[in-house]
Structure 1
Amino acid sequence: MYNSGWCWFQDPRAIVHNGKLLVGGVAGNGRGDAAVGVYDLERDALLGRTTLHDQFDHDDHNSPVFYARPDGSVLSVYARHSTENIHYYRISNSDDYLSWGDEKTKTYDDSVTYMNLFALNDGKLYNFYRGVDWNPTMVVSSDHGKTWGEETHFIQNEVEGRHRPYARYTSNGTDTIGISFTDAHPRDYGTSIYYAEFRDGNFYQVDGTFIKNLAKDGPLKPSEAEKIFTGGGGGFRSVELSAQNSAWTSAVEIDSQGHPHIAYSLYLSNDDQRYRIASWNGEKWIDREVAHAGSRLYEREASYTGLITLDPADPQRVVISTDVDPTNGEALGGKHQIFTAQVTSADETASIDWQRLSFDDHRHNIRPMVVNDGEHKLVLWSRGQYNTYTDYYLDTVGLDLKAAIH
């Protein structure tokens, strides 16, 4: 998909539905349209790219996300980067997903960004986003996205001042939402990594220990969740630095045994960041470093890495983007490349055999994601020039991960 970028705090940015791959993105230049590209996997053919919303600020935080509705249609939801209090949504009305119904809106009291859609077996569709007080917030639809209820404050900041916990979400596909989140932005605070599960209106620790009821007791606070990694805890140093030893959540998935796996980055310096994975084995968390992440993407966002992600159907299948050798940290020549490996809970950086997937030495290859519907296992990423989150020239590319692995 040409001219499209995405951030990593909204999902799913791509889905496979009825044999077709749908990919969302926002153009990083020109009119900045929010768009969807469609690829027919059965025919091995690109069907096209269509605009969902013209002039959508060329900001990669605004990328559309998708939900496959029971009637075969697809819902797309998208929002600007906290510049207005609206989320937009449209429902497809064609089998090739290139034609969409009228755009509708849901209005909130606070500005919003970062849409995340998850359906559970209670018949409800959940949208998790940043909203109330710049905090993670939730809104629910009981008709598969045609209408939406009232917003609910979901996670509450505890760092003194106005801060924004960053959250990544996943689901076991039936009754549980897994949440990996931070205290704040890593530039502003030496952030830790936390985990909790949300089920039947309650928050729980991973072992099932009850924490609180959302409706009765209010939003979850970091101090009430499980702390997976302890960050430096220090404050703001500079717009060109992150706080010391600050972590940032990148991906979270739940495996077939119901065990969560959290992938995140750790800031050591502008030129030295690390990728880590924390895995629950049924008895305890196993947290370890798995790769060198290399340098920041640009100077104003010191904790922006190429990112680490996990296969949602097999979280031990890991994909990363780095501009250094993942094992020893030696420079690769200045551009980020895509690597994959099978990573067990016993592995650490020195023991992992990384396989390189991209070989473009002239353009960045960043922000990978894995789409796995059981039949297809695809890895997608952004390739091109990345200057800032509002100035980029990126295309979405990908490959069949099953075929690529050796």
Structure 2
Amino acid sequence: MKTKGYFLSIICLVLYIAAHGQDAIQTNTLTEEGAWCWFADPRAISYENRNGTINATYVGYIDIHGHIKATQINHLTNTTNEVLIRSWFQPDDHNNPTFLVLPDERVMVFYSRHTDERCFYYRISQKPGDITTLGREVRLETDHNTTYPSPFILSDDPNHIYLCWRGLGWHPTIARLTLPDKNDVVEFDRGPYQIVQSQKGKGGVRPYTKYMSNGKDKIYLAYTTTHPDNQAVNYIYFNYVDIHTFGLKDIKGETLATIGSGTLHEVDATPAYKNRYPDAVVEDAPFRNWLWEISVQDKDKPVIAMVRISEDKKKHDYYYARWNGREWQKTYLSHAGGHFHQTPDIEKCYSGGMAIDKTDPAIIYGSVPVSGKHGNVYELKKFTVDPEGKLSSSKQLTFDSPKNNIRPFAIAHTKDDLRLTWMHGDYYDWIVSSSRPKGYPTEIHTTMSIPTNNINLTKEKALQQNPGKISVEHSENIRLAKSKQFSIVMTLSIDHDAYYGKIIETNAFVYGLEKSERPKPYLEIKNNTYKSSNVLGTADIWKTKNRGTGGQWYPPTKLDTFQLVITYEKSLLKTYINGLIDQNIEITGLSLSEVMLGRYHGTIDDIQIYKRALSQDEIKASRK
């Protein structure tokens, strides 16, 4: 049954189209705090299995508080959940999570810090297709820095994970991993190997790479010589990796090198290199070229979304490059303005962004400046290129937006509806620091309908109190009629000088905070302890620190007042911190009849108890 929220979104879409025409797209807010870079992908996926038990979309992002998060839209149950994947992380938009569906249909989430830590992190859902059940955080050690994880599983080798990233020597890197064992541990079993070497002997070289697989036996990569800030002529190259031989090949299948052999293929931004390897170079025009996405849906005609940036970095132009069997054909799409953000003296090569449609690679979505009622604002446009390589249409999709729409991403799926996501809002820097403490305060918007449940915060409410200040010396017991499903909603604070203790103790469980420099919540149930993967705190201290990626782990900023919610229904005990799912524990036989407050130093501004499990929509509504 469709929800009230669904119908409201349809009504809004009808009104929007009436005002702006048939090209206007539905715009919904997926989250009010979230951002991403465009080199760690897939930042969002849809997955539908053959037997019809899973049909969901997962969208990942990071906020300015260092919280890595994801939204799951379950298209079967018409519900939405937002999950806290990792709190208190480096607050940097390069650190958005990426997703991989494993052969057993569980969802694996990868993330890493930006350049300054020798490891990846990952978590795996404990149930197929359901990231609300993420297991413990696991650290995958490397001997070099890691950024932009891009994972794949290929049908010719379904027993391994292929992971690509920027790693060895700041260059494109690949490794083969084992599938998770019974403890969800994966290991490197081939590699890591650097894929190419760019401009050997020159310092500060950082190729930027986009990856995509054919799902079977090849991983394609397009990459630049270096960052476009570093040199006025920045080539774009296109190769692929044959997973059977680890051969690096050009688009015509000629072997350039064997990855891991000890001899790297050396690329350079010179006419001599192009003359020697003409089928490895996509773009050698004299610009600060950068790339946004690649598509190999048509394996004979790969597509690249790229941008040409002038030497002074003030003029950005979007291009569409398609291999026609003989050469890379480029099509001019649009002037893209200059850098989109609010800080004029940094990252002048940051365009609004482009995305390739996942069902039709002849369609590109681009963020371009448009004059509207709010001034010059970046809006989304749809560009279509015909089979002859000519721009056949250009249509505006968003209109009169109050703030910029940037870094679009189209989600691959099996249906005809458009699943487009993008960032919306102001943007000051890719990292939070004392230089620009606002960082990247953007929302994530989408064309997808966002289901909402009916909200009734009075239904089956059993208790509401305002205990105020409490302590281990002043406690309070609450007795209730026994209930086999329940919700406990608390707004509370913990004394920063005594940031630990049993927050709430009941006849069914204890919820507490460990005494540690990096305190994590825990649940004690039936003589078992379940520890959260997340620190109860933020990375807001970065607002006071120097800008940079030096590997620091600053102490977590303790929360002042926050909301804690604990629900139980159908053998699932869930905890929520400020509206985000933290822990999800499957356990039978719980019932609530007694609640004890006052095992820690702090205050409880409000406590509400329900004889049912509140939905996440209701929990978020209760915070407003």
TM over 0.5: yes
Q: Is the 8 A contact 1:252 1:263 kept in 2?
A: yes
**Partner letter of residue 97 of structure 1?**
I
Which position in structure 2 is the counterpart of 1:371?
411
TM-score with structure 2 setting the length: 0.58
**Structure 2: runs of 5+ lacking an equivalent:** 1-29, 48-53, 268-272, 432-438, 450-624
**Partner letter of residue 164 of structure 1?**
R
For residues 164-200 of structure 1, give each alpha carbon's deviation from its aligned partner in whole angstroms, at most 9, with x where no partner exists. Answer: 0111111111111111100101001121111111113
**Partner letter of residue 392 of structure 1?**
Y
Deviation at 1:134, TM superposition (A): 1.0
State the identity %: 26
Which position in structure 2 is the counterpart of 1:26?
62
Alpha-carbon distance in structure 2 between the residues aligned to 1:231 and 1:383: 32
Deviation at 1:259, TM superposition (A): 2.2
Deviation at 1:324, TM superposition (A): 4.2
Q: 1:308 aligns with which of 348, 354, 360?
A: 354
Which position in structure 1 is the counterpart of 2:115?
82
Alpha-carbon distance in structure 2 between the residues aligned to 1:156 and 1:294: 32
Q: Is the 8 A contact 1:66 1:77 kept in 2?
A: yes
1:92-111 to 2 correspondences below 5 Å: 92-94=125-127, 95-111=129-145
Pairing 1:6–2:47 present: no
For residues 120-153 of structure 1, give each alpha carbon's deviation from its aligned partner in whole angstroms, at most 9, with x where no partner exists. Answer: 1222221111111111111211316841314111
Pairing 1:215–2:260 present: yes
Deviation at 1:8, TM superposition (A): 0.5
Q: 2:71 aligns with which of 3, 12, 37?
A: 37
Alpha-carbon distance in structure 1 between the residues aligned to 2:356 and 2:373: 24
Q: 1:116 aligns with which of 150, 160, 183?
A: 150
Alpha-carbon distance in structure 2 between the residues aligned to 1:356 and 1:20: 28
Alpha-carbon distance in structure 2 between the residues aligned to 1:392 and 1:131: 25
- Cα 1:292–1:42, aligned 2, differ >3 Å: closer, same or farther? farther
Which position in structure 2 is the counterpart of 1:16?
46
Pairing 1:380–2:421 present: yes
- Cα 1:257–1:79, aligned 2, differ >3 Å: closer, same or farther? closer
Which position in structure 1 is the counterpart of 2:332?
289
Which position in structure 2 is the counterpart of 1:322?
368
Alpha-carbon distance in structure 2 between the residues aligned to 1:266 and 1:332: 27
Q: Is the 8 A contact 1:193 1:231 kept in 2?
A: no
Alpha-carbon distance in structure 2 between the residues aligned to 1:85 and 1:38: 29
Alpha-carbon distance in structure 1 between the residues aligned to 2:384 and 2:374: 21
Q: Is the 8 A contact 1:266 1:273 kept in 2?
A: yes
Q: Is the 8 A contact 2:112 2:119 kept in 1?
A: yes
Q: 2:395 aligns with which of 318, 332, 355?
A: 355
Deviation at 1:286, TM superposition (A): 1.0
Query: Secondary structure at 2:131's aligned position in 1?
Result: coil
**Partner letter of residue 137 of structure 2?**
E
**Partner letter of residue 397 of structure 2?**
L
Q: 1:203 aligns with which of 243, 248, 251?
A: 248
Which position in structure 2 is the counterpart of 1:389?
430
**Partner letter of residue 60 of structure 2?**
G
Higher relative CO (CA 8 A, sep ≥ 6), structure 1 or 2? 2
Alpha-carbon distance in structure 2 between the residues aligned to 1:208 and 1:392: 42
**Partner letter of residue 363 of structure 1?**
K
- Cα 1:360–1:52, aligned 2, differ >3 Å: closer, same or farther? farther
Alpha-carbon distance in structure 2 between the residues aligned to 1:86 and 1:314: 36
**Partner letter of residue 229 of structure 1?**
E
Alpha-carbon distance in structure 1 between the residues aligned to 2:77 and 2:426: 30
Which position in structure 2 is the counterpart of 1:177?
219
For residues 322-358 of structure 1, give each alpha carbon's deviation from its aligned partner in whole angstroms, at most 9, with x where no partner exists. Answer: 1148xxxx9993211111132235344xx44222222
Pairing 1:62–2:98 present: no
Alpha-carbon distance in structure 2 between the residues aligned to 1:89 and 1:257: 31
For residues 358-400 of structure 1, give each alpha carbon's deviation from its aligned partner in whole angstroms, at most 9, with x where no partner exists. Answer: 2243111000011122225411111111111121111211115
When structure 1 is superposed on structure 2, of 389-398 and 73-82 the one drifting more is: 389-398
Alpha-carbon distance in structure 2 between the residues aligned to 1:48 and 1:363: 26
1:337-352 to 2 correspondences below 5 Å: 337-348=379-390, 351-352=391-392
Which position in structure 2 is the counterpart of 1:239?
none
- Cα 1:43–1:399, aligned 2, differ >3 Å: closer, same or farther? farther
- Cα 1:276–1:40, aligned 2, differ >3 Å: closer, same or farther? same
Q: 2:281 aligns with which of 227, 230, 237?
A: 227
RMSD: 2.2
1:110-189 to 2 correspondences below 5 Å: 110-121=144-155, 122-123=157-158, 124-143=160-179, 146-149=185-188, 150-158=191-199, 160-189=202-231
Which position in structure 2 is the counterpart of 1:237?
none
Query: Secondary structure at 1:303's aligned position in 2?
Result: coil
- Cα 1:139–1:257, aligned 2, differ >3 Å: closer, same or farther? closer
Q: Is the 8 A contact 2:234 2:284 kept in 1?
A: yes
- Cα 1:184–1:360, aligned 2, differ >3 Å: closer, same or farther? same
Query: Secondary structure at 2:375's aligned position in 1?
Result: coil
Which position in structure 1 is the counterpart of 2:543?
none
Q: Is the 8 A contact 1:293 1:324 kept in 2?
A: no
Alpha-carbon distance in structure 1 between the residues aligned to 2:377 and 2:77: 33
Alpha-carbon distance in structure 1 between the residues aligned to 2:373 and 2:256: 45
**Partner letter of residue 281 of structure 2?**
K
Query: Secondary structure at 2:253's aligned position in 1?
Result: coil
- Cα 1:377–1:174, aligned 2, differ >3 Å: closer, same or farther? farther
Aligned length: 380
For residues 256-294 of structure 1, give each alpha carbon's deviation from its aligned partner in whole angstroms, at most 9, with x where no partner exists. Answer: 344211111110244421011111122332122222111
- Cα 1:76–1:85, aligned 2, differ >3 Å: closer, same or farther? same
- Cα 1:13–1:44, aligned 2, differ >3 Å: closer, same or farther? same
Alpha-carbon distance in structure 2 between the residues aligned to 1:377 and 1:117: 24
TM-score with structure 1 setting the length: 0.88
